[in-house]
Amino acid sequence: MSIRKTVRQQNILSAISESPSLRIVDLARVHQVTTETIRRDLDELTQKGLLNRTYGGAVRAMNTEPTVTERHRLFTQEREHIARETVQQVGDGKMFMLGSGATTVHVARRMATDLRDITVITHSFGVATVLSMNPTIRVIVAPGDYIASEGAMAGAQTLSFLHQYSADYAILGASGVTADGPSEALIDCGMIYKTMIQRANKSIIVADHSKFDMVFPSHYASWQAIHRIITDKPPADHILTTLKKENVEISVCE
């Protein structure tokens, strides 16, 4: 491997450590090489298990995702748009379950601003904290084992607790979104999301475009179980086709 190639691939790995996904056309422009050269680089790095190739780019290797604190710094404007649309879609609800994650914290903040006299069950301290700004919202925090990287509770105690309740809506984030459904990097959190879907009348996935074509270990739902996905850009055709086939409603906040 030439020195130039080595440096380029090291720079690609450095870039993907700071951003959840990279595009081939952007990498080719930055490194002043052809898109074919970048594709070969990404293929080699994927074979070494250092990242995952996707259609048109690459994402971090499976099992790796930024902590929730790091994610709060990414796609903030897109998440604010998603949050606004989400609250407009669930205004008729009185009982909610909210999963953990950066996007759901944005949703919770918008709920605290726009809604009143509702009850929210969550396992996320970030969600609970922003909801507490509205004294008319009753917040119930599930017990369990604390996951520091996610700022959330998980485990058998959390699952048992959630089974005591039913909700109008479950609002959940995702580490990845594919034609097979949403997936989660943390297996324990994926189990929480699966249970919330089971206990809710309708389930909504909130995810920005960077999650498309990313796959993580916990495939916590098929699209048959999801009522709506709210995102900031239309997904690729192969995902869009499946969503329409499974009658999943799509809200795009461009």
pTM metric for this prediction: 0.75
Report d(CA 12, CA 93) in Å as an integer.
Answer: 45
| pLDDT score of 63 | 52
- What mean pLDDT comes out for the span 218-237? 95
119 plus 242 within the same structural domain: yes
107 plus 14 within the same structural domain: no
Q: Domain containing 168 — which CATH number? A: 3.40.50.10470
| pLDDT score of 161 | 98
Report d(CA 86, CA 125) in Å as an integer.
Answer: 20
114 plus 225 within the same structural domain: yes
Number of domains the chain is built from: 2
149-161: per-residue pLDDT in tens?
889 999 999 999 9
Confidence check: pLDDT of 245 > 70 = yes
144 plus 194 within the same structural domain: yes
Residue 70, H or E segment: helix 68-71
- What mean pLDDT comes out for the span 230-244? 94
| pLDDT score of 129 | 96
Q: Among candidates 118, 64, 69, which has minimal Cα distance to 90?
A: 118
47 plus 72 within the same structural domain: no
Tell me which residue range forms the domain holding 113: 68-252
53 plus 143 within the same structural domain: no
- What mean pLDDT comes out for the span 24-32? 92
| pLDDT score of 4 | 85
Instruction: Name 252's bridge partners.
Output: 231
Residues of the chain above pLDDT 90, percent:
69
Rg (CA), the chain: 19
Query: In this structure, what DSSP letter does residue 165 have?
Result: -
110-162: per-residue pLDDT in tens?
999 999 999 999 999 999 999 999 999 999 999 999 998 889 999 999 999 99
132 plus 37 within the same structural domain: no
53 plus 149 within the same structural domain: no
Confidence check: pLDDT of 254 > 90 = no
Q: Kindly report the average pLDDT of the chain as a whole number.
A: 90
Instruction: Name 184's bridge partners.
Output: 218
35-75: per-residue pLDDT in tens?
999 999 998 888 777 788 887 888 776 555 555 555 545 56
Query: Are the C-beta atoms of 217 and 63 separated by less than 8 Å?
Result: yes
Residue 185 phi/psi, 5-degree rounding, is -70, -35
